[in-house]
A and B are shown apart, each in its own frame.
Chain A
Amino acid sequence: MRFVALPATTTARSALVTLAAVVVALVVCALIFLVYGVSPGAVYGSMLRGTLGDPTGLAEVGRRTIPLLLIGSGLALAFRAQFFNIGAEGQLLLGAVFAAGTALFIPLPGPLVAPAMFIMGALGGGLWAGIAAWLRRVNVNEILSTLMLNYVAVAVVTYLIAGPWKGKDVRGYIYTDTIPAGGYLPVVPGTQVHWPTLLLGIVVALGLQWLLTRSTFGYALRVVGENAGAARYAGLNAAGIATVVALITGGAAGLAGAGEVAGIHHRLLEAGQISLGYGFTAVIVAWLARGNPALCLVTAPLMGVILAGGDLLKIDLNMPFRVVDVFSGVILLCLIASEVFVRHRVVWGRA
């Protein structure tokens, strides 16, 4: 078997291959569920009925779409620049820390609390990604550094909520006091969909798409990502571009963290409760969108179904939440393994 490069790749072919990859992934997951001992029909049925089939479920999908959209569109940009940030989980957590800290400890007039939380959240997330960007300059692979920083971020959150930031009103639990009411975001009535963050996510996705395709910086970014040699020849500062991209991506993840605190929890709590693995799932959101931030408007809700569905499987079928990792991993693997078929056709037999 060998691959022969196609002269041009079409959007239709790309879409078809992506679709086929997702179908293969669903079949592979079905096999794993059979081994686990539940019928794949029951799993997929439960997930679909409980997410797209009723308004409450749809709202749950919406709630999870918000952080995925923000993080995913940032990551889409990062992947185009070949900056493989997989530490969005930690950047989101630092965003939540900065946002909660701002609301809890900085006295601000009511209407300013929420905007300040988002600004500080972006700063926190950007800072965390900035460490990885700096480490990359001393030849530390950003995949490893952002990953290690995830573990460190979890420790930071745990330390704060169990130690100096532990709420005065809470007894045995570890979380902070609730933030002032000025920091609460409005939600769609009867749901946990904090629509200002959703709106922000849409703006960020479209804005980053514009940045990528219409601005000089976006052009430089694409050149650096697609052909490092040409970029060097053209005198582009690849390290500088990677740093800016890291700050943007981390900032977007930080915004997501601020949104979770201001929109849902209203306090800082355990890492596992702030994020349901949004950082990793967003990698798939960005990959599915093939590096187009705006396409995350479609792919983020898709992965939102999987995260919300994972919660349902826990309740309906008593499955561990790890099932979401299986979904994510298999979909991601099928997506990247199928990439070769976008630009090549297969010829059987030896060269």
Chain B
Amino acid sequence: MDNIVVEALVRALAVGTPLLLASLGAIVNERSGIVNLGMEGVMAIGALAAFAVAASAPDASLWLAVLASMLAGAALCTLHALATVTLRANQFVSGLALALIGTGAAGLLGKKFEGLPLFNKVPDWTLGGFTVSPFTVVALLLAGALAFYLNATRPGLTLRSVGENPAAADVLGVNVGLVRWLGVLGGGALGGLAGAFLSLSYRSSWSDNMAGGLGWIAVALVIFVAWDPLRAVAGALFFGFLYYLQFRLQGNSPIPTEVFSAMPFVLVLVVLALAGRRGQAGSAPAGLGRAYVRGER
């Protein structure tokens, strides 16, 4: 009995790790007032960049591969920042385009890495008898750090103020455009890191469509957890547990497998509807989704 509970928790943590990293990224994005629906693409690009570096230079430090994933995620999000912050484009549609470009470019450029083995997989850690990925530990620490940053530091306050009321922040001398650019790029780096976990630790291989919808779920998760990094930990665990159930029940239950593959997405809908009913959407940063133009509101 004990074993099953522990196994479930460990597995839920593993699948929850990319969800947590990507939703932390989206939280950083959205706290600055910019919606980023492109996380699916950011994760795909991050996964590819990390794998490409690790597979092409097996002697190089894995830190380099991790760094590459974060740079690649941020680089992809440069497009989003340029379009939405500088050129005031529709943030939702730009995110959609970002998802298409990311998954598309990863699928295209990653073709030559398909099926290659990875010899220098990130080694798991053994903590108190459990095997966990270092990424999981980092993700949990990052959640705490981000919560501290947003709630207890001055730059965090600035970031939030730009998301809540860009006009007021502007009056106080904050460079709204710059903060939003940094918010988008920082979020992109975290999304890339989520991808690196998939290709360096979780699967330690590369295949097309690696993110497999996790990026979209991460984006929805942000609404569910009301833009709060610590609640994101619980949310990621919850969905990680669902995925665990899916693997666990598949094959040894009379329920058709398609029910399990649709389950996370149906649950996201249910959870979003519940959050909406509770008025959780009201806790969104007030300036979210709107371009800031000085002198207009």
Contacts and interface: CB of A to CB of B under 8 A. Distances in A.
Contacts of A147: 216
Contacts, number: 147
Interface stretch (B9-17, B142-150, B195-203, B259-267): B259-267
Interface in B11-40: 37
Interface stretch (A91-99, A252-260, A333-341): A333-341
Contact of A340 (B88, B107, B275): B88
Interface string B268-282: 110011011101010
Contacts of A326: 100-101, 104-105, 108
A206 interface: no
Q: Which of A1, A147, A158, A162 has the most CB of B within 10 A?
A: A147
Interface in A305-351: 319-320, 322-330, 332-333, 336-340, 351
Interface stretch (A104-112, A136-144, A238-246): A136-144
Contacts of A330: 97, 101
Interface string B214-235: 0010011001000000000000
Majority-rule SS of B interface residues: helix
B96 A140 contact: no
A44 interface: no
Interface residues of A, number: 48
B94 A333 contact: yes
A268 interface: no
A333 B109 contact: no
Given A283-B96, A351-B294, A319 B108 contact: yes
B65 to A, nearest CB: 19
Q: Which of B102, B265, B268 has the most CB of A within 10 A?
A: B265
Majority-rule SS of A interface residues: helix
Contacts of A6: none
A234 interface: no
Q: Which of A1, A149, A155, A163 has the most CB of B within 10 A?
A: A155
B103 interface: yes
Contact of A156 (B87, B105, B220, B262): B262
A337 B82 contact: yes
B270 to A, nearest CB: 10
A270 B87 CA distance: 40
Interface residues of B, number: 51
A135 B108 contact: no
Interface in B240-297: 256, 258-259, 261-262, 265-266, 268-269, 272-273, 275-277, 279, 281, 294
Interface in B181-216: 208, 213, 216
A149 B107 CA distance: 23
Given A151-B265, A158-B258, A336-B97, A36 B108 contact: yes
B68 interface: no
Given A147-B216, A151-B213, A140 B108 contact: no
B113 interface: no
A332 B89 contact: no
Contact of A140 (B86, B256, B269): B269
Given A151-B265, A156-B262, A159-B258, A322 B107 contact: yes
B177 to A, nearest CB: 10
Q: Which of B88, B104, B111, B279 has the most CB of A within 10 A?
A: B104
Contact of A35 (B102, B109, B223, B277): B109
B109 A36 contact: yes
Given A35-B109, A145-B269, A155-B258, A324 B276 contact: no
Contacts of A158: 258, 261
Nearest to B296: A5
Nearest to B93: A336
Interface in B73-106: 79, 82-83, 86-90, 92-94, 96-106
A332 B100 contact: yes
Contacts of A339: 87, 89-90
A158 B257 CA distance: 10
Nearest to A339: B89
Given A156-B262, A320-B111, A138 B97 contact: no
A86 B94 CA distance: 13
B208 A322 contact: yes
A162 B279 CA distance: 40
Shortest beta-carbon contacts, A-B, top 8? A325-B104, A329-B100, A322-B107, A139-B276, A329-B101, A155-B262, A159-B258, A326-B104
30 contacts: A32-B109, A84-B93, A135-B269, A135-B273, A138-B276, A139-B275, A139-B276, A139-B279, A139-B281, A144-B219, A148-B268, A149-B265, A151-B213, A155-B261, A158-B261, A159-B256, A280-B96, A280-B100, A320-B208, A326-B100, A326-B105, A330-B97, A333-B79, A333-B89, A333-B94, A338-B87, A339-B87, A339-B90, A340-B89, A351-B294
